[in-house]
Amino acid sequence: MAAANRSGAISRYGTAAGTGTLAVLLLVAVCGSPLYVGWAEEHTEPDSAGGWFLRLLAWPAWRFGSGEPGQGVLATDLRAILLVLLAAALLYVLPASQVARVQGAVSQFFSGWGAYVLAAGLAALLGALLGPDPSLLAALQAAGTGAGYGFLSGWIIGTASLGGRA
């Protein structure tokens, strides 16, 4: 169903947070899937920029089924689940287009990108702390890796956020 915007006109587009959340779901579902992860490991060259980036996109890998006894879905897939939940929450919480000096596309893009960087860093930190064998050092290292992933792939979410209204 179409929603009315501030001027009363009917808009066929969703919110920037909604389109960003949909992009997060698609990115994690596709690039974190076992099929994509296996393909990226076998068919990309880790020493080339393109191959490295395609492997980076597989960072939120999920399995939904662990071969290790005593570890369920939550232990193996916590990072991907947290990434989706935190990114959705941050996309809705960061109302950059409403408080920014420059409203519109620029603030929507950077708000979506920034939300994904924060979500990836927090998901990695919490995933390491709540997962098997937690340690503070591992959690801090994971947070750095997650934030790097978010920084280098967050432009996808920022671009998707451009398709929605504020």
Which has more pLDDT, 105 or 72? 105
pLDDT at 46: 92
The answer to the question of residue 92 being in a domain is yes
The answer to the question of residue 1 being in a domain is no
Main-chain dihedrals φ then ψ at residue 4, nearest 5 degrees: -85, 135
- Give the list of residues 6+ apart from residue 104 with CB closer than 8 angstroms, or none: 97
The answer to the question of residue 130 being in a domain is yes
Tell me which residue range forms the domain holding 146: 19-161
The answer to the question of residue 11 being in a domain is no
* Structural domains in the chain (count): 1
The position carrying tokens 């519109």 is 104
Q: For 123-155, what is each residue's pLDDT tens digit?
A: 999 999 998 889 999 999 999 999 999 999 999
Measured CA to CA in angstroms, residue 20 lies from 50, 51, 129, 136, 158 at distances of: 24, 25, 27, 31, 7
Q: Which two tokens stand for residue 40?
A: 């990226």
Report the alpha-carbon distance of residue 124 to residue 147 in Å, rounded.
8
The answer to the question of residue 118 being in a domain is yes
The answer to the question of residue 110 being in a domain is yes
> Quick one: average pLDDT of 23-42?
96
